[in-house]
Amino acid sequence: MRLETSFDGLTFSNPLMPAAGPLNGDYEKLVFLLKEGLGGIVTKTISTSLPQIPKPCIYGDRDFVMNSELWSEHPLRKWTDEFLPKFKEINDKPLIVSVGYSEADMEVLIPKLDRFADAFEVSTHYVGTNLDIISRIVETIRKHTKKPLYLKISPHIPNPEAFAKTVHEAGANGIVAINSLGPTMKIDPLKRQIVYGNAAGYVWTSGPSIKPIALATVYKIKKAVPEMTIIGVGGIKSADDVIEFLLAGASAVQMLSAALLRGKDLYRKIIADLPGALDKYGFKDVQEVIETTLINPTRYELEAPVVNFDTCTKCRLCERICPYFAISFTNKIIVDPDKCFSCGLCVAKCPVGALYFSAFEEGL
Ligand SMILES: Cc1cc2nc3c(=O)[nH]c(=O)nc-3n(C[C@H](O)[C@H](O)[C@H](O)COP(=O)(O)O)c2cc1C
């Protein structure tokens, strides 16, 4: 099955790349990622100064990561003289070099990194929300390179559509959506301390919990500027998630936190799982998913869900969670159509899929 995706003159053997972070922080780590079979490789964000990173800096929960990491702890010279020349010798995948942050940084970074990059990704995480400043950063980069250019949007940018239009007009090819969410906070009640946090007490949150925000940002941007390339990132943990991002409007995806939480071999697993996931949803290849137009059949009237008694295990979870007190149990689950609001919570939460809306099953 063809997993290939192409855009802006670049071809990726599959749509999964690593997102900028600790796993692409030096030569050795880039080599590890290359061996995992990813469609393209991305570097950690490189800048002109060295960051001061508060430690500890990566907290992991079940479905989210919190971090106070900044950009690469290695100086630009280390990247240009050691990591990237060595990596270029063995790399056969498109290499996206991540850079940050200001116009002045770009004047230094782009000329020095251009010969190593197949494309640039620009972090705007610490740049603020002023679109004039962001536009000037793009124009500055464009003075020094013709390579594909992707601006990475952070969730604290208030208007993703305006951000996309601005950077498109300034000369960017696309958007990487999204960076980590924040500022957020982690408190240790026993120690009465902020163990994980920067000097102001904050961290950035990423991982499966932020996937809904990332998906909506991809969708918003694709609707606002359809001709722009979107690389989706934020919360991906499975091949099914990759497909969701492609349906929302992305042409490729990146992942970091799920690999931090579940293991670095997750990249390899997702690529291996992708053909099966495409098949399960009736797609012949990755390109077909990208070209599919997502439909949104908003309904204001919907009949109460139906119970499949052959599947129902009588666990009664639906009865306990129904917000409208419409579900009761006398030997079997009974949904009271007069009380039911057709909210869908029981359908979503039933562990064996025994509740369903007949309208959706009929594809109406
Ligand atoms: C520990 C850590 C370090 C990160 N460092 C960078 C970075 O240097 N540059 C950047 O653009 N994003 C950075 N990010 C953000 C990720 O690239 C990504 O956008 C975000 O984590 C959402 O994707 P995920 O949920 O798959 O991790 C970092 C995230 C984490 C967790």
pTM (two decimals): 0.97
- Report which protein residue has its CA nearest ligand 1's atom 3: 21
Predicted pLDDT of residue 363: 52
Which two structure tokens, joined as six digits, stand for 131? Answer: 């679109």
- Does the Cβ of 181 fall within 6 Å of ligand 1? no
Predicted pLDDT of residue 364: 43
- Report which protein residue has its CA nearest ligand 1's atom 18: 179
Domain assignments of the chain as residue spans, ordered by start: 5-291, 306-361
Q: Which amino acid is at 16?
A: L
- Does the Cβ of 236 fall within 6 Å of ligand 1? yes
- Does the Cβ of 234 fall within 6 Å of ligand 1? yes
DSSP-assigned beta bridge partners for residue 58: 67
Count of CB atoms situated within 10 Å of the CB of 24: 24
C-beta of residue 219 within 8 angstroms of C-beta of residue 73:
no
> Would you write out the chain's pLDDT as a tens digit for each of its 364 residues?
999 999 999 999 999 999 999 999 999 999 999 999 999 999 999 999 999 999 999 999 999 999 999 999 999 999 999 999 999 999 999 999 999 999 999 999 999 999 999 999 999 999 999 999 999 999 999 999 999 999 999 999 999 999 999 999 999 999 999 999 999 999 999 999 999 999 999 999 999 999 999 999 999 999 999 999 999 999 999 999 999 999 999 999 999 999 999 999 999 999 999 999 999 999 999 999 999 999 998 999 999 999 999 999 999 999 999 999 999 999 999 999 999 999 999 999 999 999 999 988 865 4
- Does the Cβ of 123 fall within 6 Å of ligand 1? yes
> CATH homologous superfamily for 5-291?
Aldolase class I (3.20.20.70)
Q: How many residues does the structure list for the chain? A: 364
Predicted pLDDT of residue 362: 66
Q: Do domains 5-291 and 306-361 have the same CATH topology?
A: no
Please name the residue that has the structure tokens 């002023």. Answer: 130
C-beta of residue 259 within 8 angstroms of C-beta of residue 267:
yes
Q: Which atom of ligand 1 lies at the shortest distance from residue 233's CA?
A: 23
Report CA(247)–ligand 1 centroid distance (Å): 22
Predicted pLDDT of residue 297: 85
Q: Which CATH fold topology does 306-361 show? A: Alpha-Beta Plaits (3.30.70)
